Structure 1
């Protein structure tokens, strides 16, 4: 079948790679002039690393394998530790943290991506898309993987359903040596009304992010001219290595948290959705890229069959992390983090990974 994929992010590229391997004729159209490298890095859970393995992408040399995930207070007191190797043993694949640009590059490979050709309008019933510049393409199937502002979804659903959660993320990398840069630990430092996250990403890089409450036009919002000063004041005095991060900030990215209700049916006729176009969620559960890969995995097995069954199956799973992420539960962990012993936190986390994964529910 001829499949038109709108968007060359994680969902679109993974779907294209899987569909090509399944024998379909695939074309990918991307709005950006080149590969989409914006963003810091992402944590891939065992279901996703298993999917990468099936796609022929060796994750052994991709990113940085993680062994624990810890929660601290501002002064460095440990609240709990999740043993990520428990999930690795249970599911047969590790947890890996990888720079987004490296993941996109690995997925893109030699795929037939046409850059500078974003979809401006879609006709779902005909699997037809009008590209920037006026060209129209048509396939047997149209996949809208063109992100939160998806033109394909707009043709299907109308207005953007996402709303702001009231939280934002400021993030970047530091290459300054820290106590965590070469470790295999992810650390979340929980404040009363804010959170700092720190995860090594390989090649001497440490991803950092600061989650704070903010609203459009106010402090901590996009284009805040005093953002570096504000972050230093808000997080100054926190445990090592936060002072090093604050001191070495240079490039810094802004991400407002969006959420919306995920419907059971995403598409119409031969047109469907994948990734953020179908299920935008805050990054607090580290599930955006993972759910995109899960979409691609199941979609590969559904093209040529019942696309509505694909949507219902994925919606049932994606709603679980989306609901938790929308509550910003991770950013509020200070109130409950110390209540669970390590063994219980590990068991809960390991079980949740299976509940959040179509692949693991099928394969394990």
Structure 2
């Protein structure tokens, strides 16, 4: 047993997790022993929107701590090659260096596969689908969860893992909705060989005036393609493959080749929450997008939710007082999440490096770029920090 797996015995608590996305299921997997646990999900099935996610070492380390093995799923990415929109090389990041320094690689995985692997670690009956929460009322040592059917549930702790439009956040923290930034991401999955576009275990990105295009393997004969673009006047829901082909028609051939193979798209707007000092009142707290929605430009959305779940699990395992445990969890996560949020918010998908910046980027060794990216992820992570809440 490693130091991270040592737990203190204590009486089981009634814990209600609202939301069965990546963060909610990860927390349920981490707390599957020793607690009276229920995960309340308003959808009638596990949500699989979003196509694929990129798991960085912090996300994979958290999954490892929860006993979730993803090595046989998805595809590892050893190198990321960055270009201008016209194909001019900018920088190569050696992601394999991250694996050498942390013990965990960078891996792309379908969101539905990640949810399935997490759900497999949760005992039967814990996830309650089709259960919609309408309000949460925190008390001094307990909380009441009101359901849309008029019934209610009592808990020693309520965790809001219900996304950017979180009912729990609205109830216990702030009714202010997440802000839209005017940018959006459009994902698509392309089937078949990418020979001539990508090397094995490599990804590529292109940035130009129209926006950003990323291309990464997700598995054998399956590739994730995504575009970060400004939301058109007609709204983000109107975007389709034809619109993308027109927007990126002047980009380098790998981009236009991929666009010619896209059939369906999955668009979503970029939304941001301020990161408050505390994430709840009494025995309530938040994790993932409910606490700190950020643009996906740093590639940390799912990873930060997993990091949150690990930190909350550790705080609860080491402290029998739920209120004290969640405040410790929040104080451990807030500075890390804020650092990540600042980086993500500063990224502009159509910000093309100037001549001087481009010259410097081209001359940074790939290994050094990998070391730098590793340092960033460590600054954003709890599970890689070597300390517990």
TM-score bin (small chain)? over 0.9
Partner of 1:311: 330
- 1:351 maps onto 2:369 in alignment: no
Aligned equivalents of 1:144, 1:158: Cα separation in 2: 13
Post-superposition Cα deviations, 1:297-349, rounded to whole Å, max 9, x if no partner, equal 01011223421111121111111111111122455253445423134422321
Worse overlay, 12-21 or 344-353? 344-353
1:208 and 2:229 matched:
no
Distance 2:115 2:198 in 1: 23
Aligned mates of 1:56, 1:229 — CA distance in 2: 42
The 8 Å contact of residues 18 and 160 in structure 2, kept in 1 or not, is answered as yes
CA spacing shift, 1:214–1:148, aligned 2, 3 Å: same
Q: Which residue of 2 aligns with 1:175?
A: 191
How far, CA to CA, are the matches of 2:176 and 2:261 in structure 1? 37
**1:258 aligned residue:** 271
Matches within 5 A, 1:127-146: 127-146=143-162
Residue matched to 1:239 = 252
Which residue of the partner structure matches residue 64 of structure 2? 53
Q: Is the 8 A contact 1:285 1:330 kept in 2?
A: no
What is the TM-score normalised by the length of structure 1? 0.93
Hey, what does 2:310 align to over in structure 1? 297
CA distance in 2, matches of 1:145, 1:7: 5
Evaluate the alpha carbon distance shift between residue 73 and residue 37 of structure 1 in structure 2; reply closer, same or farther with a 3 A threshold: same
Q: Which residue of 2 aligns with 1:198?
A: 215
- Measure the CA separation in 2 of the matches of 1:171 and 1:48: 21
Q: State the SS of the aligned residue for 1:61.
A: coil
1:163 Cα offset (Å): 1.1
Matched, 1:62 2:73: yes
CA contact (8 A) 1:182 1:200 kept: no
Check whether the contact 1:8–1:146 (CA below 8 A) recurs between aligned residues: yes
1:320 equivalent to 2:331? Answer no
Map of 1:339 onto structure 2: 360
2:136 to 122, 129, 139: 122
Tell me, in whole angstroms, the C-alpha distance in 2 between the residues paired with 1:362 and 1:352: 15
Following superposition, the deviation at residue 66 of structure 1 comes to 1.0
Q: Distance in 2 between matches of 1:101 and 1:139?
A: 29
Q: How many positions carry a matched residue from both structures?
A: 359
Q: Which runs of 5+ in 2 are unaligned?
A: 1-12
**What is residue 9 of structure 2 aligned with on the other side?**
none
Match of 1:31 among 28, 38, 42: 42
Quick one: structure 1 residues 330 and 92, their matched pair in 2 at CA, closer, same or farther if it must change by over 3 Å? farther
| Distance of 2:22 and 2:260 partners within structure 1 | 32
Q: Supply the RMSD in Å over aligned alpha carbons.
A: 1.9
Which residue does 1:41 correspond to in 2?
A: 52
TM-score normalised over the length of structure 2? 0.87
Give, in whole Å, the separation in 1 of the partners of 2:198 and 2:82: 17
Determine the C-alpha separation between the residues in 2 that align with 1:331 and 1:40: 23
Which residue is equivalent to 2:7? none
Q: Structure 1 residues 203, 128: CA separation in 2 closer, same or farther (over 3 Å shift)? A: farther
Do structure 1's residue 361 and structure 2's residue 380 form an aligned pair?
Answer: no
Post-superposition shift, 1:161?
Answer: 4.1
1:96–1:149 Cα change, 3 Å? same
Q: Tell me how far apart the structure 2 counterparts of residues 329 and 213 of structure 1 sit (CA, whole Å).
A: 10
Residue 383 of structure 2 aligns to a residue in which SS? helix
